[in-house]
Amino acid sequence: MTYTTPLISILRHMRGYQIQTRRSFQNLLTSKNSHKRQEHMLRKTSVFLCNP
């Protein structure tokens, strides 16, 4: 990405990216094996919080 790109378009792109990631995260939570994935993510985050 070049610096000549207008700031507004960059912000729009970032907003779109946030929406995409949010959607994909929701799909992850509602998909099959979501319970296992949630457990795995909780384990990961707990390990990260305990061992920074």
Nearest to 39 by CA among 47, 50, 1: 47
Average pLDDT per consecutive 10 residues, the chain (52 residues; last block may be shorter)? 68 77 76 67 74 58
Alpha carbon separation from 42 to 3, 38, 50 (Å, rounded): 39, 6, 12
Crossing angle, helix 7-30 and helix 34-50, to 10 degrees? Answer: 120
pLDDT value of position 20: 77
Instruction: Note the maximum CA span of the chain.
Output: 45
* Confidence (pTM): 0.31
